[in-house]
Amino acid sequence: MQMERGAEKIAVIGLGYVGLPLAILLSKQYAVTGYDHADNRIAELQNLNDRSGEVTSKELSDAFLLFKSSKGNIGLQVTDNPDTIAHSTIFIIAVPTPVDKSNLPDLSPLKAATELVARHLKKGDLVIYESTVYPGCTEEVAVPILEQVSQLTYNRDFTVGYSPERMNPGDKQRRLADIVKVTSGSNVEAANRVNNLYASIIKAGTYLAPSIKIAEASKVVENTQRDINIAYMNELSKVFTAMDIDMKEVTKAAATKWNFLPFHPGLVGGHCIGVDPYYLIHRSMQAGYEPNLLKSARVINNSMGDYVASRMLALLAKKQIDASTARVLIMGIAFKENTADIRNSRVVELINQLIASGVAVDIYDPLVDALAVSESYGLTCLDKLGETVKYEGIIIAVPHAIFDDFTYGQFLKPLSVLFDLHGIVSGYPSDGSL
């Protein structure tokens, strides 16, 4: 059963990489209020600018115009005024769920968003969580807050759903509507309501999980699986480098077997693969089981920034280039290719380790917001590369497509090192890769 167009009034809490594309897609069929506590974020969106690059100016403009032309029956409005969400019947929470300095779950954004929604919760309302959490978090942490603040009763006065986000930042082929959506609800009625809502906007279809806990677990498993597989390749890269064996040639040969999984070594950052495993590790430890494989994968992947720095220093020394007087260009600081997303970028550790070793470092990434890099990491990005500047070394840290045809020789001194982590360069000799 498909949900009737415009039947629900929806509030999306958190307008970041997850919430904004969701609000845009929903606004084509429903009246959507997008809320974010950051007034500068709201101002940017009202000026048709999404700094994440996930939503175009036209998509924003069309959504806003639809809201005005339909007199608020469908379309999108954005606000930093929490009272504006009061009329909503469905609240979707899509706020960050990071980890703290000890790699323990930091649920403060989730709790704050839950309290905000609870102050406006009414009988018959539905609250859906998209934020990545550990299994049990929605019912054990969020629901008690909803009940306490609203003074309403769970599964009698209001219901809850969980539908984990599956956004892939920078991917223009697999957008929100093209990815199957896992859904769940706190009872049969809620589960159907959640599923029908997403089925009305997701072309790829939905999968209704048997429970909220299963839906929560499926999300952390998706990203933890990738973390483990990349950790395996990162360790192999270290092993084969020590043996003076070309890792890329090894994986090419292995890939001729039909069931070989094509993972590659690299710097594992971002808000999913580099964070979600800690939520599962935390919950597993609470349950009395120590997940050694999960923990080992995190240790390996977290070591790669320092490892790449040490490899670069070794390559410089091999060519008798003094690191203390060397100038090295880092190409890419986003956490992955073809995106502006700098959250939890492991390139930062590489940069800081080189700086600590006396290397002068320049950073170039035309996709990212330089102000955001400065505010988040205290580092400065070049607006453009100087035509006459020559470097003792270049590290291609992030394989953005725009770097594929870059003329690296133009910016390297005759005696220099090109460290191409992902092997994207053709037509110019590389001194190393992972």
Q: How far are the Cα atoms of 151, 208, 297, 366, 399 from residue 392, in angstroms, in the given order?
A: 65, 55, 33, 21, 20
Could you give the CA distance from residue 304 to residue 310 in angstroms, rounded to a whole number?
10
d(CA 269, CA 280): 17
Residue 263 sits at the vertex; the CA angle it makes with 253 and 372, to the nearest 5 degrees, is 140
Bridge partners for 33 per DSSP = 11, 77
Under 8 Å between Cβ of 14 and 113: yes
Cβ partners under 8 Å of residue 76, min gap 6? 23, 24, 27, 32, 33, 34, 60, 63, 64, 66, 67
User: Could you tell me if residue 244 is left (phi over 0), alpha (psi between -120 and 50 degrees) or otherwise beta?
Assistant: left
Q: Which residues belong to the active site?
A: 272
> Angle, to 10 degrees, between the axis of helix 276-286 and the axis of helix 292-302?
150
Q: Are 344 and 99 in contact (CB under 8 A)?
A: no
The DSSP code for 222 is H
Of 352, 303, 321, 300, which is closest to residue 418 (Cα–Cα)? 321
Residue with tokens 């770097």: 403
Q: 245: number of CA atoms within 13 Å, CB side? A: 12
Tokens of 155: 């599964």
Tell me how far apart the alpha carbons of residues 271 and 344 are, in angstroms, rounded to a whole number. 6
Angle between helix 347-356 and helix 304-318 axes, rounded to 10 deg:
50
Beta-bridge partner residues of 76: 32
